[in-house]
Every structure is written in C-alpha cells, then in structure tokens.
Amino acid sequence: MIAAVAEHRPDLVLLDLYLPDASGLDLLRRMRAEGSECDVLVISAAREADAVRTAVRLGVVSCPLKPFGFDDFSERLAQ
C-alpha cells in the first residue's frame, strides 16, 4: 500500500485499522513519515479510544465506526 500511495499520490485513502497482515495505524505512520499528506478516512470496527486518538493525531479526517449506513458515509465523504 505504501508504494501505491507514493506512486499514485491519491487525494484520499480509505483505511481500515484491522488489516490481515499489518496494522492500519502502522501504515498510516509510514505514509506520514514518507511525506504523504493525502486525506485519510479510517473505516474500522476499532472501538479502542487510544487507536482512534492516534489516528486523529496522525491527521485522519474522519473515522466512522462499522457498522454505518450509506448516508453517514456519503456525508463524511462530502466533508
């Protein structure tokens, strides 16, 4: 994912904190360390306050928690 972000330079990344082979927070830290300033919207079932606070400190623009409806998701994308 880090290589894809560096190559494609997206405006927005949708990121889950629970990934099969990595931590979403670790990936976000690496993205920021490598200079990526793209917006990140975390979509996760993570309910740990520390994880959410860390994501916000790393510049996450929104953090809807699963499950959520399309209207909520659409509103957050519009913001």
24-33 and 49-57 helices cross at what angle (nearest 10)?
20
The confidence score (pLDDT) of residue 68 equals 84
pTM: 0.81
Report whether pLDDT(72) > 80: yes
Report whether pLDDT(77) > 90: no
First to last CA, the chain: 24
Q: List the chain domain ranges.
A: 2-78
Instruction: Write the CATH number of the domain with boundaries 2-78.
Output: 3.40.50.2300
For 15-70, write each residue's pLDDT tens digit: 988 888 889 999 999 999 999 999 999 888 777 888 888 988 998 988 887 888 89
The confidence score (pLDDT) of residue 33 equals 93
